[in-house]
Amino acid sequence: MTFSRASRKASPDGFDDGTVALREHVTLLTGFPFKSEFYTEQPDGVRLVRGDNVVQGQLRWDNAKRWPPDRIDEAKGYELREGDVVLAMDRPWIEAGLKYARIGSGDMPSLLVQRVACLRAKNGLDQGYLFYLIGSHRFTDHVLSIQTGTAVPHISGSQILQFRYRPLPLDRQRAIAAVLRSLDDKIEQNRRTGAKLGELARAVFKAWFVDFEPVKAKAAGAKSFPGMPPATFTALPTTFQDSPIGPVPEGWRVQAVADAFEVNPGRRLVKGADAPYLDMKNMPTEGHAPETWERRQHGSGMRFVNGDTLVARITPCLENGKTAFVDFLADEEVGWGSTEYIVLRPRPPLPDEFAYLLARTNAFREFAIQNMSGTSGRQRVAASAMEHYQLAVPSEPICRAFGSAVRPLFRWTRAAMNESRKLAQIRDYLLPKLLSGHVRVAGGGSA
């Protein structure tokens, strides 16, 4: 189906500028008021798409809430489908951008929660094209012009459907969506690969320095360990020694973080200088690399250089796992950010990446959370707590081998993220030009 000539020229609202209202080509569903008292921690629970899960163009599941399978009948009709476009209705726009997303195969199954809108195309509007229409600057401008409320700005379903746009033939919609989707697919592929490499680095760290698997394997008579160079394996001890943190490999030193690392090391940055700035809201909760940072005149905040690890020390940011490895600065450049960061830098022979991977362990996170103090709303862990967390520091050959093993994983992830940033810039540049018809795509037919 394509748009009719009548729908192009006029509408029930009396417009004759060739635009149509979204309501003519979209079915909008708003979510169900799931009661939090019935949320479940069970992994077989169905994930709920709440406003907090909807970010700029994608869903974020790190703080997912789940609905018990035995109550699924209560949510009949609120099941989301692959390709659905969802939009936060409370605080729909934040500084990072519009909060909208597309439901992918990896987001299934999931259920729609109240104050989140689901949009489904009909009457000649392509679902893929709808996603990019919602992601356009014109739609964001529409949202900003209609949202009401100050403490929590919000929009209604009827206001969303008032958005007007100039329709295109269905074949052109699909061609445009295909071009933009190819860029998004590459960005998503980079994200997934980076996530897997991050998991691999954390697994290697855990095996070598938490569970001591290579030492245990050698003690049991093994001649090698997967991923460990033969010379490094040969240098491993075969026995353990008692220590304040339990048995550790013979010859390894037990040190406090404050001794093995530099904690909040001094970095020179002139006050008022233009410098890279990392906002707390852009700190990653999973991967090592923040996707977004900006430049600001240096004020009051922690300073850092490439190779430093940043740990959020304030609730709920610490509890959410906000931790970053700094690898996005130019050579010799100094960045800065929140006073609520603890900056960690391993002392030789430990490689830089060691601090980040230690900070990602459950034991370190639990220690930091248990050492928070202050009022219930603004608790934080003091940098001085690092004097009390102890770790086993291996010999120099093992440190060098570990750095050689994980450093390429970090570098590839950063390179992929840099590529994704450029692809996103291309997509954002093309989007308004394709939607307006100023740029045509092959196979898109004629105007």
Task: Report the 10 Å Cβ neighbour count for 360.
Answer: 22
Q: Would residue 237 count as lying in a domain?
A: no
CATH code where residue 373 lies: 3.90.220.20
Are residues 208 and 332 both part of a single domain? no
Gap between the Cα atoms of 447 and 433, Å rounded? 14
Are residues 217 and 278 both part of a single domain? no
Are residues 114 and 45 both part of a single domain? yes
Residues 6+ apart with CB under 8 A from 416: 190, 191, 193, 194
At residue 212's C-alpha, the angle toward residues 208 and 214, to 5°, is 75
Select from 126, 148, 167 the last residue of a domain. 167
Say what the pLDDT of residue 48 is. Answer: 97
Write down the number of H helices and E strands in the chain.
Answer: 11, 25
Are residues 288 and 378 both part of a single domain? yes
Are residues 435 and 363 both part of a single domain? no
Gap between the Cα atoms of 46 and 110, Å rounded? 6
Q: Are 301 and 337 in contact (CB under 8 A)?
A: yes
**DSSP label at residue 209:** I
| Residue 80 CA neighbour count, 13 Å, CB half | 32
Number of domains in the chain: 3
Are residues 25 and 90 both part of a single domain? yes
Q: Would residue 243 count as lying in a domain?
A: no
Q: Would residue 247 count as lying in a domain?
A: no
Which residue is it, tokens 């909807």?
Answer: 54
Q: Are 185 and 193 in contact (CB under 8 A)?
A: no
Query: Could you read off the pLDDT tens digit of each residue along the chain, which spans 447 residues?
Result: 333 333 334 444 545 578 999 999 999 999 999 999 999 989 899 999 999 999 989 898 877 999 999 999 999 999 999 999 999 999 999 887 899 999 999 999 999 999 999 999 999 999 999 999 999 999 999 999 999 988 899 999 999 999 999 999 999 999 999 999 999 999 999 999 999 999 999 999 999 999 999 999 999 999 999 999 999 999 999 999 999 999 999 999 999 999 999 999 999 998 888 999 999 988 998 889 998 899 999 888 999 999 999 999 999 899 889 999 999 999 999 999 999 999 999 999 999 999 999 999 999 999 999 999 987 678 999 999 999 999 999 999 999 999 999 999 999 999 999 999 999 999 999 999 998 888 888 765 443
Residues in the chain: 447
Q: Would residue 235 count as lying in a domain?
A: no
Are residues 112 and 40 both part of a single domain? yes
Q: Would residue 239 count as lying in a domain?
A: no
Provide the residue range defining the domain that includes 269.
253-393
Are residues 258 and 320 both part of a single domain? yes
Are residues 94 and 212 both part of a single domain? no
Select from 148, 167, 186 the last residue of a domain. 167
Are residues 339 and 201 both part of a single domain? no
Are residues 19 and 151 both part of a single domain? yes
pTM of the predicted structure, to 2 decimals: 0.84
Are residues 129 and 163 both part of a single domain? yes
- For the chain, the distance separating the N- and C-terminal CA atoms, rounded to the nearest angstrom, is 16
Q: Would residue 304 count as lying in a domain?
A: yes
Gap between the Cα atoms of 22 and 443, Å rounded? 25
Q: Which of 300, 303, 276 is nearest to 290 (CA)?
A: 276
Q: Would residue 240 count as lying in a domain?
A: no
Q: Would residue 103 count as lying in a domain?
A: yes
